[in-house]
């Protein structure tokens, strides 16, 4: 039986660890939060008192943490994962973090002879619970092949995006596109409405014309046309604007370093930041419609 250490049992990590346990793996779980830890134990994981207790002797280490600083600390601090893990262990970090931190940690791990991939996910808590996440994986081909059977216990689509850090690149580039296309969709529906064209009729036309995009057809920010979209429940998430803003900021940070021009990404970040400033970033990101309408 493969022993897996799972560090970070929050909204996403909790159900992901539960799916690994359900698949028959021995999962040793650790989180700073006792409440998160207790839930994981209920779901069949074994409780570890510290991260190093979870990691000691484990074959695979999976982490699902908030940001780059947490990932760096958990892996690279004295007595962290890199110091404690047994020879030959494989590390999988599924957190969404900045590209530089991902590459720094993988470099430090491989320098000590470990295999490591960055494997951020797309899909929210529902997909984490159902085991249907999409994984975007960066790292060596052999490490990807080794990680894949475990990722398949937590997800449905597993992509190798290339070298270390490229999983994070795929994730932020995709989410920057989504963040922009959602705002564009809001503008189009608002313009149509202001000019006397109702959302249902505009949807019927535009969803089969050249303006068609995922933000419109699967997640329409105007109430009505897509019944299960958050717009029909006053923009309760879903995917919170705060999460989108985090990803937009990561995209801008990476774009500046790479000298990639992303003028619309910058503008989109500014608009989601206005939702944050208004204390409304707990709404779904499609709630940016309220900002466009002037009703936030």
Asked if 151 interacts with ligand NAD (CB under 6 A), we say no
Known catalytic membership, residue 156: no
Asked if 12 interacts with ligand NAD (CB under 6 A), we say yes
Residues with Cβ within 8 Å of 177's Cβ and at least 6 positions away in sequence, in order, are none
What whole-number distance in Å separates Cα of residue 109 and Cα of residue 104?
9
The helix (run of H) or strand (run of E) holding residue 116 is strand 115-118
Residues with Cβ within 8 Å of 62's Cβ and at least 6 positions away in sequence, in order, are 4, 5, 6, 7, 16, 17, 20, 92, 93, 94, 150
Residue choice 36, 84, 85, 292 for contact with ligand NAD (CB under 6 A) = 36
Backbone angles phi, psi at 26, to 5 degrees: -85, 110
CB 72 within 8 A of CB 105: yes
Q: Is 187 helix (H, G, I), strand (E, B) or coil?
A: helix
**Tokens 């105007």 label which residue?**
222
Asked if 208 interacts with ligand NAD (CB under 6 A), we say no
The stretch among 31-39, 160-168, 182-190, 218-226 that binds ligand NAD (CB under 6 A) is 31-39
Residue choice 17, 29, 74, 245 for contact with ligand NAD (CB under 6 A) = 74
Closest approach, Cβ 193 to ligand NAD, in A, equals: 30
Write the DSSP assignment of 122-172 as a string of letters: ES-HHHHHHT-EEEEEES-HHHHHHHHHHHTTTEEEEEEEESTTHHHHHHH
Give the nearer residue to ligand NAD in terms of CB position, either 32 or 270: 32
CB 188 within 8 A of CB 211: yes
The stretch among 10-18, 111-119, 173-181, 286-294 that binds ligand NAD (CB under 6 A) is 10-18
Site string for ligand NAD, 105-134 (x = CB under 6 A): ----------------x--xx---------
Residue choice 24, 32, 42, 233 for contact with ligand NAD (CB under 6 A) = 32
Give the nearer residue to ligand NAD in terms of CB position, either 137 or 199: 137
What angle, rounded to 10 degrees, do the helices at 166-194 and 263-277 form?
A: 70
Catalytic residue among 39, 72, 171, 246: 171
Closest approach, Cβ 177 to ligand NAD, in A, equals: 16
Give the nearer residue to ligand NAD in terms of CB position, either 70 or 156: 70
Beta strand 26-30 with 3-7 is parallel
What whole-number distance in Å separates Cα of residue 122 and Cα of residue 130?
13
What angle, rounded to 10 degrees, do the helices at 241-258 and 263-277 form?
A: 140
The stretch among 8-16, 102-110, 156-164, 193-201 that binds ligand NAD (CB under 6 A) is 8-16
Site string for ligand NAD, 210-249 (x = CB under 6 A): ---------------------------------x--x---
Give the nearer residue to ligand NAD in terms of CB position, either 43 or 192: 43
Chain residues 80-109 in contact with ligand NAD, contact rule CB under 6 A: 95-96
Residue choice 33, 50, 141, 208 for contact with ligand NAD (CB under 6 A) = 33
> Which residues bind to ligand NAD, rule: CB under 6 A?
7-13, 30-33, 36, 51, 64-66, 70, 73-74, 95-96, 121, 124-125, 243, 246
């Amino acid at each position: 039986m493969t022993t897996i250490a799972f560090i970070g049992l929050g909204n996403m990590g909790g159900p992901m660890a539960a799916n690994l346990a359900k698949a028959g793996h021995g999962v040793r779980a650790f989180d700073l939060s006792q409440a998160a830890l207790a839930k994981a134990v209920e779901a069949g994981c074994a409780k570890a008192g510290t991260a190093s207790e979870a990691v000691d002797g484990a074959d695979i280490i999976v982490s699902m943490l908030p940001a780059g600083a947490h990932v760096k600390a958990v892996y690279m601090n004295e007595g962290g994962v890199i110091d404690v893990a047994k020879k030959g262990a494989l590390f999988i970090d599924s957190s969404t973090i900045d590209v530089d931190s991902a590459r720094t940690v993988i470099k430090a791990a491989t320098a000590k002879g470990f295999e490591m991939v960055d494997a951020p996910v797309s899909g929210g808590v529902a997909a984490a619970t159902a085991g249907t996440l999409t994984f975007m994986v960066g790292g060596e081909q052999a490490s990807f092949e080794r990680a894949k059977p475990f990722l398949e216990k937590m997800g449905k689509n597993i992509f190798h995006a290339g070298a270390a850090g490229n999983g994070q690149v795929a994730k932020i580039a995709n989410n920057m596109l989504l963040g922009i296309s959602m705002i564009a969709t809001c503008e189009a529906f608002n313009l149509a409405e202001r000019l006397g064209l109702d959302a249902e009729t505009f949807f019927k036309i535009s969803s089969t014309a050249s303006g068609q995009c995922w933000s419109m057809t699967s997640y329409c920010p105007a109430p009505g046309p897509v019944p299960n979209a958050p717009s029909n429940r006053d923009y309760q998430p879903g995917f919170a604007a705060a999460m989108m803003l985090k990803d937009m900021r990561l995209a801008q940070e990476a774009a500046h370093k790479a000298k990639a021009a992303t003028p619309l990404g910058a503008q989109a970040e500014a608009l989601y930041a206005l939702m944050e400033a208004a204390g409304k970033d707990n709404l779904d990101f499609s709630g940016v419609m309220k900002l466009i309408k002037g009703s936030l």
